[in-house]
């Protein structure tokens, strides 16, 4: 598919240079374009920022007819239509925020044989909820003008993905309704499991899947131990911003609006120029923050994940996660906003066990979510395996002998950075504490479990053995390991105000009876980063 001797190849080259003003394709773009222009159903998996939009925008201009682009985000549709119009490419969108007249005009494009519109953007619910849209679409097809259907964020079809959206399942009718129209699905985030599911839902089994690499060689990955008090955490952020990232711009992600506000306040008190960004700000305030950050007026935006789509700043030098993401997919996307210019940038995550429960109590109710979260925890706990290899393998990419070039903390940690812990003995102790608590009808939080293990807290919960001969932080890592490997399972209880995660026994821990079974836990001190 990489060839340049197709009947359309010359035109493709021309449109690339003259309309998009781009000199050369990025990896896999040409393959996708050739595949979809050959009328193949195709799914494209490319990291954020790799240039997926071009894969449907350019083919739309090669042959006569109309390309329908399905996109879940109104702001993204607006951006793209605006930028296409600037290139003198005629494009329109229909969204819930369009006026009646705008919607009518856009719907007429489907019936109007003389229209010059090449791309029509719609949200997925259009297919489910608008009869007029569907009948006009059928008319467009009957006239032979429906050239291609591009589905952005196509992983939203699958319940196994991290971002399932029910309206996407209505797209399953398209391949039967318009059998000769190629479907082009695009996503940044799909494991083999999700990809198969997406093909099933869209009724395009065995379609061509084109993946580009997930490796971002210029991003340095690092996990840091997160202190227990917010004040100490802010001190770490302060040091990073004042020294390591002096005169540079970046993003600090948290998982709550309150955290964004607290941290912004804390950092401002220490003389730093930062601003917060979250869903409670109105859109005017949001654009203002975004713009001022873009112009380097703020060194960092402290944001929830509401700050994401539409960031087009190429020189983001750091993305710090104050709280872990809810999945590796989310983490990859969020951290991937760093270093789009190809220069070195850093992705730092502050991790401590307590945050697992902050996130798990938020995500546990959706399908597959705990597994996704545990994938993220495993990434944080890891101290023996190259982080970019871990990421690549998460996305089912063959890593081979690719070199990390010492661009992750694991690949450049000192030799004595790992604490080896024999699990056999500790598992017996931990298991007995949980069993004992169950007998006493006491609900164990992770905190209580660790207390009991380290011979602190209520005496009846403690065990009879000795206190572990390592730090509590390492103890937390052991518990987190046991949770993410289902030896201990989270049991969620609701109160009027919150959801609490209690721990109970999962897979029989006796399987960890091999006396040689040990864990190597990394030491993630901030000092290692100075
Ligand atoms: P994605 O949808 O994969 O996240 P986009 O389609 O938004 O990425 O593209 C990211 C940026 O890269 C855009 O500014 C786009 O114009 C630019 N871009 C895409 N392809 C190329 C290319 N071949 N050469 C240079 N820039 C490109």
| Ordered alpha helix ranges (H), 90-241 | 100-111, 125-129, 131-142, 174-177, 192-201, 230-239
Q: What pLDDT is stored for residue 512 in this prediction?
A: 67
Is a pLDDT exceeding 80 seen at residue 514? no
Given a contact cutoff of 8 angstroms between Cβ atoms, the answer to whether 77 and 94 are in contact is: no
pLDDT score of 400: 86
pLDDT in tens, 402-421: 999 999 999 998 888 888 98
pLDDT for the residue numbered 66: 97
Tell me, in angstroms, the distance from the centre of ligand 1 to residue 50's CA.
6
**C-alpha to C-alpha distance for 508 and 487, rounded to whole angstroms:** 6
Span 14-41, average pLDDT = 95
Q: Which atom of ligand 1 is nearest to the CA of 29?
A: 23
Question: Averaged over 368-386, what is the pLDDT?
Answer: 92
**Is residue 98 pLDDT above 90, yes or no?**
no
Closest C-alpha to 67, from 100, 97, 110, 25: 110
Paired residues of 349 in beta bridges: 223, 321
The answer, yes or no, to whether residue 463 has pLDDT greater than 80, is yes
Residue 434 CA to ligand 1 centre (angstroms):
52
The pLDDT assigned to 483 comes to 95
Q: What pLDDT band is residue 200 in, cutting at 50, 70 and 90? A: very high
Ligand 1 atom nearest residue 47's Cα: 3
Confidence of residue 186 (pLDDT cuts 50, 70, 90): very high
Pocket of ligand 1 (CB under 6 A): 22, 25-26, 29, 46, 48-54
34 versus 313: the higher-pLDDT residue is 34
What would the mean pLDDT of 190-205 be, rounded to a whole number?
Answer: 91
Copy the structure tokens of residue 88: 């003198």
| Cα atoms in the Cβ-side hemisphere of radius 13 Å centred on 267 | 26
Model confidence band, residue 256 (pLDDT cutoffs 50, 70, 90): very high
**For residues 334 and 301, is the Cβ–Cβ distance under 8 A?**
no
Residues 6+ apart with CB under 8 A from 103: 94
pLDDT at 511: 65
Is the CB of residue 515 less than 8 Å from the CB of residue 389? no
Q: What is the pLDDT of residues 321-335, one digit of tens each?
A: 999 999 998 999 899
Give me the pLDDT at residue 397, please: 85
Q: What ipTM goes with this model?
A: 0.99
| CA 25 / ligand 1 centre spacing (Å) | 10
463, 451 Cβ separation under 8 angstroms: no
**Beta carbons of 106 and 98 less than 8 angstroms apart:** yes
Mean of pLDDT over the chain: 92
**Ligand 1 atom nearest 312 alpha carbon:** 14
Residue whose CB lies within 8 A of the most ligand 1 atoms, among 44, 45, 51, for a mutation test: 51
The model's pTM is 0.82
Residue nearest to atom 20 of ligand 1 (CA): 51
- Which of 219, 312, 299 shows the shortest CA–CA distance to 251? 299
pLDDT confidence bin for 367, thresholds 50/70/90: low
Ligand 1 midpoint to CA 68 (Å)? 19
pLDDT above 90: residue 369: no
Question: Stretch 209-213: mean pLDDT, rounded?
Answer: 92
Asked if residue 69 lies in contact with residue 152, where contact means CB atoms within 8 angstroms, the answer is yes
Please state, for a pLDDT cut of 70, what percent of the chain lies above it: 98
Average of per-residue pLDDT across 426-455: 94
pLDDT at 152: 95
- Nearest Cα residue to 479 out of 422, 424, 427, 425: 427
pLDDT band, residue 213 (cuts 50/70/90): confident
- HSE-up of 290 (CA within 13 Å, CB side)? 16
Confidence of residue 191 (pLDDT cuts 50, 70, 90): confident
Q: Directed axis angle between helix 131-142 and helix 100-111, to 10°?
A: 30
Confidence of residue 230 (pLDDT cuts 50, 70, 90): very high
Which protein residue has the closest C-alpha to ligand 1 atom 19? 51
Question: What is the 257 CA–ligand 1 centroid distance (Å)?
Answer: 31
pLDDT value, residue 465 = 92
| Position 38 pLDDT exceeds 90 | yes
Q: How far is the CA of 165 from the centre of ligand 1 (A)?
A: 25
pLDDT (tens digit, 9 = 90+) per residue, 276-300? Answer: 999 999 989 998 999 999 999 999 9
Distance, C-alpha 108 to centroid of its chain: 37
> Is the pLDDT confidence value at 160 over 90?
no
Helix (H, G, I), strand (E, B) or coil at 391: helix
Give me ligand 1 centre to Cα 147, in Å.
23
Measured distance CA(195)–CA(371) in Å, rounded: 17
């Amino acid at each position: 598919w990489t060839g340049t001797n197709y009947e359309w190849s010359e035109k493709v080259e021309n449109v690339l240079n003259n309309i998009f003003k781009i000199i050369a394709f990025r990896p896999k773009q040409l393959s996708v374009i050739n595949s979809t222009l050959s009328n193949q159903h195709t799914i494209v998996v490319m990291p954020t920022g790799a240039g997926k939009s071009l894969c449907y925008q350019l083919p739309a201009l090669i042959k006569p007819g109309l390309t329908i682009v399905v996109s879940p985000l109104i702001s993204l549709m607006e951006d793209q239509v605006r930028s296409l119009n600037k290139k003198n490419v005629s494009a329109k969108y229909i969204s819930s925020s369009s006026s009646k007249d705008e919607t009518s005009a856009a719907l007429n494009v489907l019936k109007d044989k003389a229209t010059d519109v090449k791309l029509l953007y719609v949200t997925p619910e259009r297919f489910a909820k608008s009869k007029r849209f569907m009948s006009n679409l059928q008319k467009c097809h009957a006239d032979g003008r429906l050239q291609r259907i591009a589905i952005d964020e196509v992983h939203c079809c699958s319940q196994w993905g991290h971002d399932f959206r029910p309206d996407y399942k209505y797209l399953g009718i398209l391949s039967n309704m318009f059998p000769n129209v190629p479907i082009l699905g695009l996503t940044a985030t799909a494991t083999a499991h999700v990809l198969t599911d997406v093909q099933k839902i869209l009724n395009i089994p065995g379609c061509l899947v084109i993946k580009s690499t997930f490796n971002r060689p210029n991003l340095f990955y690092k996990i840091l131990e997160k202190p227990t008090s917010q004040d100490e955490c802010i001190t770490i952020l302060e040091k990073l911003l004042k020294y390591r990232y002096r005169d540079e711009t970046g993003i600090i992600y948290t998982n709550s609006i309150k955290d964004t506000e607290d941290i912004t306040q804390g950092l401002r008190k220490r003389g730093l120029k930062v601003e917060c960004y979250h869903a409670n700000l109105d859109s005017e305030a949001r654009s203002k923050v975004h713009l001022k950050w873009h112009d380097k007026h703020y060194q960092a935006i402290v944001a929830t994940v509401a700050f994401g789509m539409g960031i087009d700043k190429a020189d983001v030098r750091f993305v710090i996660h104050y709280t872990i993401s809810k999945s590796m997919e989310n983490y990859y996307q969020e951290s991937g906003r760093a270093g789009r210019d190809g220069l070195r940038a850093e992705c730092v995550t502050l991790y401590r066990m307590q945050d697992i429960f902050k996130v798990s109590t938020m995500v546990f109710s959706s399908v597959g979510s705990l597994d996704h979260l545990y994938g993220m925890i495993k990434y944080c706990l890891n101290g023996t395996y190259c982080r970019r290899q871990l990421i690549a393998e998460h996305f089912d990419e063959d890593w081979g002998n690719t070199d990390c070039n010492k661009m992750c903390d694991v690949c450049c940690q000192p030799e004595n950075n790992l604490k080896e812990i024999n699990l056999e003995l500790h598992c017996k102790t931990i298991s007995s504490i949980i069993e004992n608590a169950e007998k006493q009808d006491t609900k164990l939080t992770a905190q209580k479990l660790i207390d009991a293990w380290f011979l602190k807290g209520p005496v009846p919960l403690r065990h009879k053995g000795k206190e572990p001969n390592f730090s509590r932080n390492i103890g937390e890592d052991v518990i987190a390991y046991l949770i993410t490997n289902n030896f201990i399972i989270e049991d969620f209880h609701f109160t009027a105000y919150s959801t609490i995660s209690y721990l109970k026994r999962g897979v029989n821990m006796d399987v960890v009876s091999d006396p040689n079974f040990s864990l190597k836990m990394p030491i993630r001190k901030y000092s290692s980063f100075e």
